[in-house]
């Protein structure tokens, strides 16, 4: 009898794990879509992107380099086996975005911290897909 009840408990836990994983995938897809759109604008040389890059104090031609770096990080993030490495690269990229916006004294909550919001969302999605990551940072034991 206890074996049956244990199986029932395990079956009850699986749907919540599956929902959490699905939610993590949805969050990751949304973050990836946003970053892909951002990289595509930089890679395509859209005039508004070049103007924005120049307004942040960079030469307009640097938009292409920034787009290449972001695109590489996103591709590495999308591959399941290298997702954590990609997330680290994107985190570094977003840190640069925060610093750049702070330097030009952009509005704090809407511009400067937007990269922080996006980074936190990215990591939440990744952890929901891979709960074992919590043990890596010491939040949960295996």
DSSP letters for 114-129: HHHHHHHHHHHHHHHH
Q: Cβ contacts of residue 81 below 8 Å, gap of 6+?
A: none
- CA dist 25 and 38 (Å) reads 20
Per-residue pLDDT of 96-113, as tens digits, reads 999 999 999 999 999 999
Choose among 27, 44, 55: nearest CA to 117: 27
- 69-92 tens-digit pLDDT: 999 999 999 999 999 999 999 999
CA-wise closest residue to 72 among 61, 82, 86? 86
Residue 78 tokens read as: 């999308």
Global pTM reads 0.84
């Amino acid at each position: 009898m206890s074996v049956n009840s244990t199986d029932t408990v395990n079956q009850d836990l699986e749907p919540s794990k599956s929902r959490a994983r699905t939610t993590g995938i949805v969050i990751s897809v949304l973050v990836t879509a946003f970053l892909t759109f951002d990289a595509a604008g930089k890679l395509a040389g859209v005039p508004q992107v070049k103007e924005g890059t120049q307004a942040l104090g960079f030469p307009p031609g640097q938009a292409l380099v920034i787009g290449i770096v972001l695109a590489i990080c996103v591709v590495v993030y999308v591959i399941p086996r290298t997702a954590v490495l990609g997330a680290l690269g994107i985190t570094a990229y977003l840190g640069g975005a925060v610093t750049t916006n702070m330097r030009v004294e952009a509005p704090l909550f809407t511009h400067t911290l937007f990269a922080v919001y996006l980074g936190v969302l990215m990591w939440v999605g990744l952890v929901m897909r891979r709960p074992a990551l919590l043990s890596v940072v010491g939040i949960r034991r295996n």
